[in-house]
Every structure is written in structure tokens, then in C-alpha cells.
Structure 1
């Protein structure tokens, strides 16, 4: 009897198992490496394709058509891509998308081996790449979050920001160097990067909605359900409006900055260095995400980063040339990662996983919809006025738009969702533990 009674007595509660440091999470690191490779290949292609079209046709309009076809295809298929991410095995979608991009990229050096490539062929490649972005984009973000504990998600997203910033920084000069070795070389490099991404997607398994949850939860709602989620929240409407204006201004800024720097005698290498400021700033800012999120609420932080962009268009008008432009873009770029992680905290973590793909796709569609318009309108203005006047107009219009947003109490009084700060705190504790281990 005594033995039985002793056996029935509850023992001390088990201590929770410690989190595995993110750097030891092999599934996350393999997925991250594959996605970093895919992103680098995309950036190499974005630079090399216009160079190839210019070399073949000498037409700036034809060179611009490649990027236009790619972006329009992504926008047209983006909503469907989000619905597919919620209803189909996500790993298969990622493998199919990366494989399609690999074949499209490989077709270019194959065609060049037999003679000059056809412009129609290149535009078809642009459409295929745009489609792969529409379908793989939501899945990539969902795949990363599915293999990381909630306590480490902010840290994982900050590392993912480093992927995007690093690719943006390394891709263009690498594409230029490879193109100098031969017209087919950058496309071979981009195809190899896509092959690595396919290999990582095949090697790493991650869950999809069809593997858990009730059937009704898996497929309920239309492809437009993500837009309805965003429209239902005043905070999300205001925040996305500010981010849309920032993206539009950023797209409009690029061409007049390049034209003005060139008018001042800046070389192509100098222009590239100046424009790299944002990517370098974003790499730095990825390490500051948790700290910035503790300093202020989401609305105040969003407005602070947005207002820091207002003087950026004026930087090329100041003394210092390349150094001034680099510094201005660096300061703005340092705040960009915290805005991307903010989107995750305010939007993507607040919806069920079965709906998350459509919400991500709706968000990305809204944020990129104004970018082609910004580039097009800037081109029209440059035909009628000076680059300096266009830059002043961009800065003024951005300030006017932000005045209306700053007056909104919805943004200024916004607070982080419950548990949102846990990611940052968990990250600091984990870093302390890793330091002690070292």
C-alpha cells in the first residue's frame, strides 16, 4: 500500500525544455540558405536581363519592358498565389516555383549558345519569373515561420531581412561582373542559384494547412479573403496606406537620382555605390529590430521611419554627391527591417494559418501596386522638368501624405499586440545564453 501511495504522488513539474538556438535549427538554416540563394539569383537576373536587352536591341524601352512584364505578372497572379498557399501543399508549390524559374533562366544561355536570343523569348521568361514570385513569395515566408518556435520568430525574420538586404547589395555588381565575362554567364549563375533553392526545398519538409485543422478551416473563404481582413481593421488600413506611399516614393526616387548624379559627372560605379546605401542600412537595421520595437509603439515607429524618408529625395541636391546620397539612403534603410517585422507582428501573426497565405498576398499586392505608377509618372515628369524639381516634388508630396497620417489617432495610439514583445525578449535571453556557452 505504501509503495502504491508513493507512486501516486505527483512528482515535481518538469522544467520546460530549453530552446535550441536559431543557429542550430538546421531546418530553418537550410530553408534560409535556399531562399537566400533564390533571392540572389533573382537580383542577378533583374540586373542582367535589361543589360542583355540593351546589348541586343539598343532600346531603353525594350529593356524596361522586361521589368514591367515581370511586375505586372506578379501583381495579376499575386492574389491567386495567396489562395494556393492556403489550399495546396506549400512545399510542392515552392519546389514547382523554383523549378519553373530554374528552367526559364537556363533557357537563356541555351538560346544564346545557338545565336542571338529573341526579345519575345526574354519577355516570356519575364512572365514566368513574375509568376514564380507570385506563387513562391507567400510560401517562403510561411515556410520559415513553420520551422521556428514563436519565441524566435522575430529573430528569424530579422535574419531573413539580412538575406534580402545582402542580395540587394551583392546582386547588381555581381551581375555586372558576370555579364562582362559573357552574355550568358550571369544567367548560368542565376540558374545555379535557383538549383540550390530547389535542392533546399526538396530536402526540408515543413507543414501545410492540409496537414492540420478542420477541413472547413483549410479551404474556407475566397481568394479575396485577405483583402477583407485588412479592410476590417482601421489600424491596418492606416499603416498600409503609409507603407504604400513610402513604396511609391521609393520607386519614383530612383530614376531622378540616377539622372541628377550622372549630370554632375558621377560614374556608373559611383551611382551604384550611392544607391547601395539603402541595402547597407537595412543590413545594419536588421540587428536593431528588437530594440526599436521596444522604444515605441507600432504607429509611432512607422511614422518616425516614414518621416525619415522625407529629406532623402533632397540629398542629391546637397553638397557631397555620392557620399551624401549614400548616407541619406543608409539612414532610411536602417528603419526598413523593423517595418517588415512590424507587418508580421500586426498582420500575419494575428490571423489563422489557414488564411495567412491570402493575407500575405493581399498585403504584398497592395504595397507593390503603386510602384509601377511611381516609376512611370517620374519618367513623364523628367521629360518636362529638371531632376531637381522632380526630387523636390517627391519630397513635398511625401510630406503632405504623412501629415494626414500623423494626424490620425489610430496610428499614434496603436500598441503592440499581446505577446508581440516576446520575440525581442526571447532573442536577447537566447543571445545571452549563447554568449555564456561560448
Structure 2
């Protein structure tokens, strides 16, 4: 057993988040199926998906400032409990016939808010839980957690939805409660130990944006991530509609998305070792061109299993990008700024996710899935060219250990 797994606090935090992430992934598969089964409209599915990601744009900046001000352990606990209480309203509404698109949008918005706070608090707490020499490995384990939950949760979401429309959402609510219990076993102080300066919430949040903007490589990488996030957020709904048009059942769609996520799990396992052998420039440029090559293949894939395999290939290279960028952010940023810098990065890179969901929903009703794949491939091509010619990316230094603080405070 590695030293990281002998770390009780990390193990408790990681285990609880595994269960919660599994539940969230089950819902991510079941929710568009529920909307399509209820209204038959891809546009409605896009609206619900956008509601779930809108907090990434609206809430990230103030949430980051609050994570650096408030008790991180308490934020994690409250986030899981609120997520459980709101999610349980979905099976209740299904049972009594109260289900509506407006309610699903409200539930997913609250889920998104909880996800923002929990993600920022966990990321900021990680350097307080593991030593600097194990940070990259811990981030790779977190990446594997996300991908592994996708591998299991995607098919499970489809199977549970086929067995009963309320089951996926009930299990998701229980998963948040399990995560809340696991947090009770985390004993270490998760706060930075450096009290933040007294200033307004928005001025404090703006510090994170200023830090990102003063570091050209981090800024360029985050903007490139934003473009790829838009593409892949839209792609998931496109694949669901493509599979349905080829006669796939809910269970088959879940398996397809599970295969998709399986590539990410393999990539996360590999990234734990591979990140040492590639420079940030190679990762940032290379990953984008791999995606450019793979996206057009969805146009010629008819069967759900083939769509899943192509998705697995796109998913395999993503964790390497995430580990490299995540290690940069975690080691370069002073701990007392991690919440705010993380929120700035998430605002810029994840704030496009609502647009991705809306883009997919509206374009699917207008030009169909093949047309949307063409649009997404074009966006990815422009992104890859931008990564290749970016001066900041071309001058990216190698990632080696933890830099001295005076190099990164700007």
C-alpha cells in the first residue's frame, strides 16, 4: 500500500467523494433520458443541462472567496447535505406526478452550486491533507476517481432508469449522504492557516482573476480548456440523440457512455506516470490535435458501441491535460489563494458549459446530430491551431517539483 493510502484523511475524503461522484454520474446519464422521456425535446434536455452548469459561470468567483474565508470542512459537509435534500425531490415528483422541466432546472441548478463549493473546497484542502511530493499523485487519483465513477455510473444510470425512472435519482441522493458521513472521519484542519485580508467579497474574488491573468501559460491553458469543455459538454447530448436515432435503449446508451468514460479511467491511471515524461507544451498542443483527429469519426460511426469506443479514445488523453494543469495550479498558487484562483479558473473554463448544453439542444433540433458534430469539430480545429501558435504555450517551462513562492506571487 502506498503512503498516500495510509493517509487516513485523504482516504476518507477520497472515498466519500468516490461515492458522491458515482451518484452524480448516474444522474448525468439519467437526467437527459428523463427529460427526453417526459417532453421528447432535445431543447428541453439542453435547458436542464444548462441549468446544472450555470453555477460554474455565476457562482464560482464568490464561492472561491468564501472557500478561502470559511471553514472548508463545513463547506464540504453542508454541500453534500444540500445536494442530497434537493436531489430527493426528483423521485418524489416522479412518484406523485409533479415533474416539470422548471423543477428539474431548479434541482440541477442547486446541484451545480453544491458541486462548485465542494470542488473548490476539496481542491483547496488537498495541500493540507497530502505532502507536496504526493500532490501530483493525489490529483491523478482524484482524476481516476472521476473517470472510474463515469465508467460505472454511466451504464448504471441507464440500467436503473430502465428499471424505474426514479431509481437513479434516489440512489444519487443516498450517495451524497454517504459522502457527508465520510467527511466526519477527516480530522485534519483543512484551512490555509493564513487569515484572508478584510475586504469586500468581490474584491477578494477578483484577486484570483488577477493572479490567473498575470501568468500567461496558466491563462492560455485555461482559455484552451474552456474551448474544449464547450465542445465535449455539447458532445454528450449529441451522442445520446445519435444513439437513440439508431434504436438504442436506455441501457445501451448507458453502456455506450460507460465505455466513453472507461477511456478516461485508463487515461487517468496512465497519467499518474506519464505526466513526468511530457512537457506542458507537448500535452497542451498534442491533446488538442488528437481531439481534432477523433471528432470527425463520430460522423461515420453508427452503432452505439462504436460511438462509445471513439468517445473512449477522446477521453483517454484528457486526464494527462488535467493532471499537468492541476499540478501547476496546486503547486504554484499560495494556499491562501487557492480557493480564489481555482474559482477564477473554473469560471473561465467551466463557465462555457451552459453554452455547450444550450448549443447542443438548439442545434440538434435545427441541423441534427451530424451537423452538430461538424460544428464541434470546427471549433476544436480552431482551438488546436490557437494552442500551436500561442507564445505562452510555446515558451512553457517544464513542470518540475514545487517552485519557490517568490516565483509565483506576481
* TM-score (ref. length: structure 1): 0.82
Unmatched runs of 5 consecutive residues or more in structure 1: 1-18, 422-438
Post-superposition Cα deviations, 1:202-243, rounded to whole Å, max 9, x if no partner, equal 221232446x23554999951121111111111112212221
Instruction: Indicate if the aligned counterparts of 1:75 and 1:134 stay in contact, CA closer than 8 A.
Output: no
Post-superposition Cα deviations, 1:382-426, rounded to whole Å, max 9, x if no partner, equal 4444543442343233223322320223212312344159xxxxx
1:116 alignment partner, one of 97, 102, 107 = 97
Structure 2 counterpart of 1:426: none
Structure 2 counterpart of 1:48: 30
Aligned-pair CA distance for 1:334: 1.7
2:134 alignment partner, one of 152, 163, 167 = 152
- Say which SS state the counterpart of residue 241 (structure 1) adopts: helix
**Greater Cα offset, 233-242 or 179-188:** 179-188
Unmatched runs of 5 consecutive residues or more in structure 2: 404-410
**Greater Cα offset, 408-417 or 383-392:** 383-392
Structure 2 counterpart of 1:206: 188
1:250 alignment partner, one of 207, 216, 232 = 232
Structure 2 counterpart of 1:224: 206
Instruction: Indicate if the aligned counterparts of 2:260 and 2:315 stay in contact, CA closer than 8 A.
Output: yes
Matched residues in 1 for 2:7 and 2:233: separation? 36
Aligned-pair CA distance for 1:20: 6.6
The residue correspondences of 1:365-404 to structure 2 (distance < 5 A) are 365-385=347-367, 387-404=369-386
Label 1:297 to 1:277 Cα distance change in 2 as closer, same or farther (>3 A): same
Matched residues in 2 for 1:290 and 1:189: separation? 30
Bigger relative contact order, structure 1 or 2, given CA contacts below 8 A and separation 6+?
A: 2
Matched residues in 2 for 1:186 and 1:266: separation? 19
Post-superposition Cα deviations, 1:99-128, rounded to whole Å, max 9, x if no partner, equal 111221233444555x22343544432232
Instruction: Indicate if the aligned counterparts of 1:98 and 1:197 stay in contact, CA closer than 8 A.
Output: yes
Instruction: Indicate if the aligned counterparts of 1:300 and 1:412 stay in contact, CA closer than 8 A.
Output: no
Matched residues in 2 for 1:116 and 1:310: separation? 44
Label 1:219 to 1:95 Cα distance change in 2 as closer, same or farther (>3 A): farther
Q: Is it true that 1:195 corresponds to 2:164 in the alignment? A: no
Matched residues in 2 for 1:160 and 1:176: separation? 24
Matched residues in 2 for 1:56 and 1:321: separation? 25
Instruction: Indicate if the aligned counterparts of 1:318 and 1:324 stay in contact, CA closer than 8 A.
Output: no
The runs of at least 4 consecutive aligned structure 1 residues that moved more than 6 Å come to 217-220
Post-superposition Cα deviations, 1:12-61, rounded to whole Å, max 9, x if no partner, equal xxxxxxx9712222211111010111111222233334444555555554
Matched residues in 2 for 1:77 and 1:408: separation? 29
Aligned-pair CA distance for 1:265: 5.1
Structure with higher Rg: it is: 1
Matched residues in 2 for 1:413 and 1:278: separation? 33
2:148 alignment partner, one of 160, 166, 188 = 166
Structure 2 counterpart of 1:414: 396
Matched residues in 2 for 1:125 and 1:244: separation? 25
Post-superposition Cα deviations, 1:365-396, rounded to whole Å, max 9, x if no partner, equal 21112222233334444444454344234323
The residue correspondences of 1:11-410 to structure 2 (distance < 5 A) are 21-55=3-37, 60-110=42-92, 115-119=96-100, 120-209=102-191, 212-213=193-194, 216=197, 222-264=204-246, 268-318=250-300, 321-385=303-367, 387-410=369-392
How many residue pairs get matched? 401
- Say which SS state the counterpart of residue 224 (structure 1) adopts: helix
Aligned CA RMSD, in angstroms, stands at 2.9
Aligned-pair CA distance for 1:359: 0.8
Structure 1 counterpart of 2:407: none
**Greater Cα offset, 324-333 or 26-35:** 324-333
Matched residues in 1 for 2:218 and 2:53: separation? 24
Aligned-pair CA distance for 1:338: 1.5
Matched residues in 2 for 1:75 and 1:283: separation? 27
